[in-house]
Amino acid sequence: MTKILLLHGPNLNLLGAREPEIYGAVTLDEINRRLTAFAEARGVELRTAQSNSEGALIDALQQAMVWADGVVFNPGAYTHTSVALRDAIAGSGLRVVEVHLSNVHARESFRAKSLLAPVCAGQISGFGWRSYRLGLEALLGEFEE
Amino acid sequence: MTKILLLHGPNLNLLGAREPEIYGAVTLDEINRRLTAFAEARGVELRTAQSNSEGALIDALQQAMVWADGVVFNPGAYTHTSVALRDAIAGSGLRVVEVHLSNVHARESFRAKSLLAPVCAGQISGFGWRSYRLGLEALLGEFEE
Amino acid sequence: MTKILLLHGPNLNLLGAREPEIYGAVTLDEINRRLTAFAEARGVELRTAQSNSEGALIDALQQAMVWADGVVFNPGAYTHTSVALRDAIAGSGLRVVEVHLSNVHARESFRAKSLLAPVCAGQISGFGWRSYRLGLEALLGEFEE
Amino acid sequence: MTKILLLHGPNLNLLGAREPEIYGAVTLDEINRRLTAFAEARGVELRTAQSNSEGALIDALQQAMVWADGVVFNPGAYTHTSVALRDAIAGSGLRVVEVHLSNVHARESFRAKSLLAPVCAGQISGFGWRSYRLGLEALLGEFEE
Amino acid sequence: MTKILLLHGPNLNLLGAREPEIYGAVTLDEINRRLTAFAEARGVELRTAQSNSEGALIDALQQAMVWADGVVFNPGAYTHTSVALRDAIAGSGLRVVEVHLSNVHARESFRAKSLLAPVCAGQISGFGWRSYRLGLEALLGEFEE
Amino acid sequence: MTKILLLHGPNLNLLGAREPEIYGAVTLDEINRRLTAFAEARGVELRTAQSNSEGALIDALQQAMVWADGVVFNPGAYTHTSVALRDAIAGSGLRVVEVHLSNVHARESFRAKSLLAPVCAGQISGFGWRSYRLGLEALLGEFEE
Amino acid sequence: MTKILLLHGPNLNLLGAREPEIYGAVTLDEINRRLTAFAEARGVELRTAQSNSEGALIDALQQAMVWADGVVFNPGAYTHTSVALRDAIAGSGLRVVEVHLSNVHARESFRAKSLLAPVCAGQISGFGWRSYRLGLEALLGEFEE
Amino acid sequence: MTKILLLHGPNLNLLGAREPEIYGAVTLDEINRRLTAFAEARGVELRTAQSNSEGALIDALQQAMVWADGVVFNPGAYTHTSVALRDAIAGSGLRVVEVHLSNVHARESFRAKSLLAPVCAGQISGFGWRSYRLGLEALLGEFEE
Amino acid sequence: MTKILLLHGPNLNLLGAREPEIYGAVTLDEINRRLTAFAEARGVELRTAQSNSEGALIDALQQAMVWADGVVFNPGAYTHTSVALRDAIAGSGLRVVEVHLSNVHARESFRAKSLLAPVCAGQISGFGWRSYRLGLEALLGEFEE
Amino acid sequence: MTKILLLHGPNLNLLGAREPEIYGAVTLDEINRRLTAFAEARGVELRTAQSNSEGALIDALQQAMVWADGVVFNPGAYTHTSVALRDAIAGSGLRVVEVHLSNVHARESFRAKSLLAPVCAGQISGFGWRSYRLGLEALLGEFEE
Amino acid sequence: MTKILLLHGPNLNLLGAREPEIYGAVTLDEINRRLTAFAEARGVELRTAQSNSEGALIDALQQAMVWADGVVFNPGAYTHTSVALRDAIAGSGLRVVEVHLSNVHARESFRAKSLLAPVCAGQISGFGWRSYRLGLEALLGEFEE
Amino acid sequence: MTKILLLHGPNLNLLGAREPEIYGAVTLDEINRRLTAFAEARGVELRTAQSNSEGALIDALQQAMVWADGVVFNPGAYTHTSVALRDAIAGSGLRVVEVHLSNVHARESFRAKSLLAPVCAGQISGFGWRSYRLGLEALLGEFEE
């Protein structure tokens, strides 16, 4: 059975409460629920995790090496500053899809640059909570090849 | 009935022949065929176009203003150099999703910068021909809201 | 009889429809009509052209070498990206006045830089359709000297 | 009756004497005379002022707030270095047109960047003393709307 | 008795009239009055001055060398462009606190860089007219040590 | 009753021991004690926290959303590197005042740039432990309006 | 029989008329004639084409894939701006030699950077019409190996 | 008895498993064992620690202030992004030697820049697990002076 | 009789009092006295002036056009920021020698760049008050040719 | 009789031994032999020299001033770093053609910039030992004019 | 028997005399003596050389190709400017360890960038004369593998 | 008796022959003669040297340490590229005055930056052969203090 980690970075635990004009009104729990249902319908096991700590996200990626077939990862603001997460992704050997709720290319210029995308399979940004669903589909599509 | 333009930029007519290790072995005709089938199954009309000319792509976007509900657009190399296409997208009022076959963030640094993404709904890159399918899904998802 | 080319670049065919808060509500036809009347009143022949294609604009400038005494040119987005139009202007030997509807210096920073202005007689920006009329006057003023 | 300030920045008092191959042979007095006549013919009152001092130019702009309807301003070299004049223009609420005798975009690269243009209505450069007349016309055109 | 110069740079004489959404509705006279009262209550003599001229501000700082114990200075736009004021502060040997009404770090990027702060005791920005009061307190606090 | 979080970032737990020529000889406990007394005298409740971990600081800001009216925050070195803290501040809706013991504008150039200040109410730097007291006053002043 | 495409970019149709102090007095027809003679003498078939349009040049390169053994290409101003031509060259699998009439390294700094040279076999610049002949020789030399 | 902290940063717990072509096949346990043996042979006590968290590494450095005579530190990816670790090293007063398994100067350009090296005694990079041994020798050599 | 203007920029009136470790202990009056004596001994008339105001320095240069044969100019901090003084020098047609007391190339990096030197005959920096004497000699040497 | 200097810069004495996948397998002696034969067949005298020392190459260029009609110069790595060789070429008045074995535009970015090309007649790069022959032809072609 | 070249770049012949606060008081002869003793104790032959000339250092590296198994190289100031030495190292096929007496990362910013390190096995900097001994150990350690 | 080295860098042996419009028509021998006479008249011994080699110039500076009281140095093009000469000057402890024939600040932008001036006593540029005489005077003036 295919197993996927759905990993959320800093401040995403506040989704729904925080700046809804940018991030939408759906909560993180609701996103996890929708994605879990979507995964189950495809016979895929989904585990979810969130942390505000760069180190804890690295830990989660390392632990996923032993059980997960891939990762859908919204690294939040660490997208733009974390070489350590980049190394964790590259070193894990896991297939990771980077997703963003908002269109990071249309915001402050420092958000256009991703340190992680070069070591991910691909990047999806701008479609609200649907970015996650598209990311999961993209990941499953990769396994078909 | 929802109508979508599937627009391809320069050099994409050579897909399948050109650098398959980067762009995959699927031809543009095959991609158009698969996307058309996918659209039809969802009751969506898809029209396709390709041009190597920046001006012709602007023309296509302007003409889509009178009939299309949205655009899935792979602008190829014009992604990184065309302010005119940016103006065409912004001026058209159309919802445009930017897609790329390869992960543009993992290639030469000049490919990481998109002049178009800031005026698109979002960007999807790195999943081969599936990037188009995800882009179409993303676009249709937008209309649900 | 003095003969002038009034040349419009990409996306200007949509004037009036496109982003009126930036470009105003006057259509390109209306601008051409007003400028033609203004020219006729001064005994000047005005010919107008528009294209979304960089190559077609170069063609128009080259053809103007054999009949026109000067050019009022709104190069639109190619202002900021086209070395080829710069070479066409410099190589044509024509006196060209660069005009812009909006104040390009007050918008995105990439619009403040003109590749063409260094080889034009001068630049006028920010006065809506009147920028064209001022450009024509400026051009005619040059001939007085 | 419409009232306009015609304001000249540093070194412009030397016009006619200084580098005529760049700035032309017309003196500042002559320019003021021509513009005054042009204004009178349109029923517009024109007052003129010049200073080499950044502070005195700011004073002039502040005083114009209580009597002038607009300003035609050639800020000379302060165009490129004065954030204080930028604040004075923005804070005055006056409609200001920036004009230059020479084509600033065709000279040293540090002259292509205007700190003032983003807070002006528009910019006209390259037409010798006629740049002032075009600037005045542009300003009056604005009032027509 | 401690003596302090309260020095205001360009355009600050217009406070209350100019862009109140950025700078607040309090006039410079009112600020001077409030600060004078605040100073008197602490047994401190306050003298105030304002100029739009960089040179006059340098003069004021030089003259303060013979009578003042410190300076609360809002250099306005000269903050970002004046090496001469920087030299005047460094050369005066006076303890100077740089204050700003608005949060200069949250505005145009050229306002985030202060040429003066490196030679001041510290910088306070973003608290409207209270920035002055905090600056005065900070200065008096320094003398306690 | 007004409630304020006094939050300290990395390495500030060593205050007094670490580089006293830059940061002064007062310990963090002493600062907390002085500020608490200052707050109590004004009828304000102050809670204090410190962490070396970026994630823990984000947690603290998120938790403050439910009880605090504002935050006085010395982010230490994270000032210059943390987009995640920026997002946490912006997303919290809390009024935050950024304070620094030393004059960050007078040290290494990478310390002059604050990623957080654009989303804070203002910034105070350079006055040793008094920066905190001034920050608290500034914050309380904001509530008066 | 070896077959070569001699391809000319924008504004080169004006050779001889345009800025002879930079580009020389030989016309494009004359260059084509000389090169054809030179090729025939070596038993090589030469076909020539010119366009001002980036898209048409891409088309020409794509069509050459089915008949040509190599290309001598003077891309004119597109040398410095066209990622799409770069992709067309790289994707065509053709051996392309980039040639320039003038010494591009001795002109404006933006002409020193070639986006195309990294995907060409080599670059020759500065020898007037002889740059083409040297380019053809270089190309034929490559086939000897 | 001399006491040394051997500190490892993010992702180094995966050594041996992760990208052996870059980092070698030796595990972190094995490195710790070899270094401990090497230290004991010289009458030096070695304690080891590893964390993926920036904050935990700062904690470790702070705690070492009370017991350690020096630190051999491989900061991994935090080398390039952490001002907080820089402050922790500078503030600790400890002699720290920065070591890297791979030659960081021969990899991506962002790895050539160390934020930490300016506050360390020195840097050793490129010799696999031997970099640690050389770092320990270098540290002990410093104490001889 | 040769006539020379000895012109001093901002803050130089404080010489002797201000930062003697950088600028030496000689006062401006003393420098003027020494230079006047030196000039008289060579049959040269020297007039001296100083101002803290950019505008007043421009005035002084313009007035020198009618009586002076050359200028020895220490522009102080305006060296690095004033395009207006550059224009005044270039426009005056006067031979100007730029002098500095300190070695501007050995101080902050923003002092290494002179906006004025490109339009001066030459630059002398680093020799204290003797820089003026060398500058005067250099100027007189120019007249010998 | 036409006389040409064939000058080789640093490390080129190792040709054939050093990195043949970049520079080819032909030795420098062999290149000199082939070029000498080629020159003799055209009635041209060729003298050859090589040095690893920048100073010695300058000497060789200076000595060529008295006997040579032109220079074919492969400056190797000094292409990118030597202002002194640039001055030597410009000062010699000799016609110099810069040649490179490899396509310098397709290698590390610091190799794309030539300090010498702006003062050479032209540049040829990318054709192995044939670059020398093309350079010699280009040089002889120049003399025909 | 293993043979190593110990190579010293410009100004290192003055060691002990020159700036001892940066480079220490040990002379180059003394370093050579210590390293020779260290090498002999390990059965390694060490030859030493020093030159102030870039060309002579290239010669030394080329000659070492025929007799040496590796090089310990302190390139001094050429570290930061010499592409030619980089090519010499890369072309020699020799294993080279770059060493520095001082911590180059803690000095002027132009010293942090090494053009040579990317083609060396590794870099050691900051440990005075011991940097050489560590470099030799590192080199010998490489041969063990 | 005071002893001075007059040191000339690359290409200066060609003075008089090379680009006289920039460097003047006086030969190096003539400059040496004039300076020697000037020195003798002041009871100063002058020795002169020139080399095109960076290494030989470093040698000359090192040898001057044992006999010279100061150096007048025209480093030519090495001014802008040589960190090794900078180290040689700084390490020699000699007082060095940097001189240039032409006004380096008015030429190509890469000539405005001197790597050597920060470690020299001062810089004189723009006065032809007189720059040397002024440099010698400046050096002697330093000894008076």
**Concatenated DSSP letters for F76-140?**
GGGGGT-HHHHHHHHHH---EEEEESS-GGGS-GGGS--SSGGGSSEEEESSTTHHHHHHHHHHH
pLDDT at residue D16 greater than cutoff 90? no
To the query of whether residue C100 is one of the catalytic residues in this protein, the response is yes
Say how many residues make up chain I: 145
Q: Which residue among D54, D82, D91 sits closest to E18, beta carbon to beta carbon?
A: D91
Q: pLDDT digit string (tens) for E14-62?
A: 998 777 777 778 999 999 999 999 999 999 999 999 999 999 999 999 9
Q: What is the dihedral of CA D90, D96, D97, D102, to 10 degrees?
A: -70
Residues from chain B contacting residue C109 (CB–CB below 8 Å) = none
pLDDT at E145: 56
CA-CA-CA-CA torsion sign (K5, K6, K8, K14): negative
Pairing of strands A45-50, F96-100: unpaired
Q: Which residue among I105, I113, I137 sits closest to L123, beta carbon to beta carbon?
A: I105
pLDDT at F1: 86
Mean pLDDT over each residue of chain G, to the nearest integer: 94
Is residue G23 within 8 A of residue G101, CB to CB? The reply is: yes
pLDDT at residue C19 greater than cutoff 90? no
Q: Which of C111, C123, C131 to mutate to test the interface with D (most CBs of D within 10 A)?
A: C123
Is residue B44 within 8 A of residue B6, CB to CB? The reply is: no
pLDDT at J145: 56
pLDDT at residue C49 greater than cutoff 80? yes
Q: Which residue among A53, A55, A83 sits closest to H80, beta carbon to beta carbon?
A: A83
Return the minimum-mean-pLDDT range out of D18-22, E81-85, K96-100: D18-22
- Residues B133 and B36: their CA atoms lie apart, in Å, by 10
- What's at G47, amino acid-wise? R
Return the minimum-mean-pLDDT range out of B102-116, F13-27, G117-131, I117-131: F13-27
Return the CA Rg of chain B: 14
- Block residue for tokens 């009751």: B43
Residues from chain J contacting residue G25 (CB–CB below 8 Å) = none
pLDDT at K142: 78
Q: pLDDT digit string (tens) for K92-110?
A: 999 999 999 999 999 988 8
With a pLDDT cut of 90, the percent of chain D lying above it is 86
Q: Which residue among I59, I81, I83 sits closest to D52, beta carbon to beta carbon?
A: I59
Contact G81 C82 (CB under 8 A): yes
Residues 101-140 of L with CB under 8 A from I: 103, 105-106, 112-114, 117-127, 130-131, 134, 137-138
Q: Which residue among D118, D120, D130 sits closest to C141, beta carbon to beta carbon?
A: D130
- Residues I80 and E91: their CA atoms lie apart, in Å, by 18
Pairing of strands A70-74, A3-8: parallel
Q: Is K43 left (phi over 0), alpha (psi -120 to 50) or beta?
A: left
Residues from chain K contacting residue L81 (CB–CB below 8 Å) = 81
Q: pLDDT digit string (tens) for B14-63?
A: 998 767 777 778 999 999 999 999 999 999 999 999 999 999 999 999 99
Is residue L8 within 8 A of residue L48, CB to CB? The reply is: yes
L86 to chain K, any CB pair closer than 8 A? The answer is yes
pLDDT at H145: 56
- Residues D78 and I84: their CA atoms lie apart, in Å, by 6
The 3-state secondary structure of chain G reads: CCEEEEEECCCHHHCCCCCHHHHCCCCHHHHHHHHHHHHHHCCCEEEEEECCCHHHHHHHHHHHCCCCCEEEEECHHHHHCCHHHHHHHHHHCCCEEEEECCCHHHCCHHHCCCCCHHHCCEEEECCCCHHHHHHHHHHHHHHHC
SS3 content of chain H, % helix, strand, coil (to 5): 50, 20, 35
What is the distance in angstroms between the Cα of E64 and the nearest Cα belonging to chain D?
Answer: 21
Residues from chain G contacting residue J117 (CB–CB below 8 Å) = 103, 105-106, 112
What is the distance in angstroms between the Cα of J22 and the nearest Cα belonging to chain L?
Answer: 27
Is residue H53 within 8 A of residue F53, CB to CB? The reply is: yes
pLDDT at residue I23 greater than cutoff 90? no
Q: How confident is the model at residue C145 (pLDDT cuts 50, 70, 90)?
A: low
> Chain H: residue nearest K124 by CA?
H124
pLDDT at F145: 56
Q: Which among H8, H78, H80, H100 is annotated as catalytic?
A: H100
Q: pLDDT digit string (tens) for K23-76?
A: 778 999 999 999 999 999 999 999 999 999 999 999 999 999 999 999 999 999
Question: Which residues, other chains included, contact F8 with Cβ-Cβ below 8 Å and sequence gap of 6+?
Answer: F28, F48, F49, F50, F51, F74, F76
Burial of K84 (0-12, 13-18, 19+ CB in 10 A): buried
- What's at F74, amino acid-wise? N
pLDDT at L145: 57
F63 to chain A, any CB pair closer than 8 A? The answer is no
Q: Which of L62, L27, L67, L30 has the alpha carbon at shortest distance from L47?
A: L67
I25 to chain L, any CB pair closer than 8 A? The answer is no
Is residue A49 within 8 A of residue A8, CB to CB? The reply is: yes
Helices (H), J50-121: 54-64, 83-92
To the query of whether residue C105 is one of the catalytic residues in this protein, the response is no
- For chain E, how far is it from start to end, CA to CA, in angstroms? 17
What residues are paired with E124 via a beta bridge? E99, F124
Q: pLDDT digit string (tens) for I42-61?
A: 999 999 999 999 999 999 99
Q: Which residue among I56, I87, I93 sits closest to D11, beta carbon to beta carbon?
A: I87
Q: pLDDT digit string (tens) for J74-126?
A: 999 999 999 999 999 999 999 999 999 999 999 998 998 999 999 999 999 99
Q: Classify residue C125 by its DSSP letter.
A: E
Residues from chain D contacting residue E78 (CB–CB below 8 Å) = 83-84
Q: How confident is the model at residue A50 (pLDDT cuts 50, 70, 90)?
A: very high
SS3 state at D8? strand
Residues from chain C contacting residue G81 (CB–CB below 8 Å) = 81-84
The 3-state secondary structure of H13-75 reads: HHCCCCCHHHHCCCCHHHHHHHHHHHHHHCCCEEEEEECCCHHHHHHHHHHHCCCCCEEEEEC
Contact B117 A106 (CB under 8 A): yes
Query: What's the whole-model pTM score?
Result: 0.94
Q: Which of B31, B96, B124 to mutate to test the interface with A (most CBs of A within 10 A)?
A: B124
Contact G51 C55 (CB under 8 A): yes
Contact L84 K14 (CB under 8 A): no
Is residue F124 within 8 A of residue F131, CB to CB? The reply is: yes
- Residues F5 and F46: their CA atoms lie apart, in Å, by 6
pLDDT at residue I75 greater than cutoff 80? yes
Residues from chain J contacting residue L54 (CB–CB below 8 Å) = 54-55, 84
pLDDT at residue G99 greater than cutoff 80? yes
Q: Which among A23, A78, A105, A132 is annotated as catalytic?
A: A23
The tokens of F7 are what?
A: 């939050």
The tokens of B54 are what?
A: 């920046």
pLDDT at I16: 85
Exposure b/e, C75-111, CB count within 10 A at least 16 = b: bbbbbbbbbbbbbbbbbbebbbbbbbbbbbbbeeeeb
B78-82, E13-17, G20-24, L139-143: which has the highest mean pLDDT?
B78-82
pLDDT at K16: 85
ipTM higher than the 0.90 cut: yes
B77 to chain C, any CB pair closer than 8 A? The answer is no
pLDDT at G145: 56
Question: Which residues, other chains included, contact G2 with Cβ-Cβ below 8 Å and sequence gap of 6+?
Answer: G43, G44, G45, G69, G70, G140, G143
- The mean pLDDT value for F104-127 works out to 94
pLDDT at residue E67 greater than cutoff 80? yes
> Chain E: residue nearest I19 by CA?
E91
K77 to chain H, any CB pair closer than 8 A? The answer is no
Per-residue pLDDT tens, chain H, 145 aa: give them. Answer: 899 999 999 999 999 876 777 777 899 999 999 999 999 999 999 999 999 999 999 999 999 999 999 999 999 999 999 999 999 999 999 999 999 999 999 999 899 899 999 999 999 999 999 999 999 999 999 777 5
Number of G:J CB contacts under 8 A? Answer: 84
> Chain B: residue nearest G80 by CA?
B81
> Chain C: residue nearest G80 by CA?
C83
Contact L14 J62 (CB under 8 A): yes
CB atoms within 10 A of CB E90: 18
pLDDT at residue F92 greater than cutoff 70? yes
- The mean pLDDT value for F127-139 works out to 97
- Block residue for tokens 């002049």: B115
G98 to chain B, any CB pair closer than 8 A? The answer is no
The tokens of K77 are what?
A: 């100031």
Strands (E), A1-145: 3-8, 45-50, 70-74, 96-100, 122-125
Residues from chain B contacting residue A118 (CB–CB below 8 Å) = 103, 105-106
SS3 state at E72? strand
pLDDT at C17: 72
CB atoms within 10 A of CB G137: 20
Q: Which residue among K55, K83, K90 sits closest to J52, beta carbon to beta carbon?
A: K55
pLDDT at residue I38 greater than cutoff 70? yes
Contact H138 K117 (CB under 8 A): no
Contact C19 B56 (CB under 8 A): no
Q: Which of B122, B126, B127, B125 has the alpha carbon at shortest distance from B139?
A: B122
Q: Which of J141, J122, J72, J135 has the alpha carbon at shortest distance from G125?
A: J122
Q: pLDDT digit string (tens) for L45-97?
A: 999 999 999 999 999 999 999 999 999 999 999 999 999 999 999 999 999 99
CB atoms within 10 A of CB H37: 10
At least 3 CB pairs under 8 A between chains I and H: no
Q: pLDDT digit string (tens) for A117-139?
A: 999 999 999 999 999 999 999 99
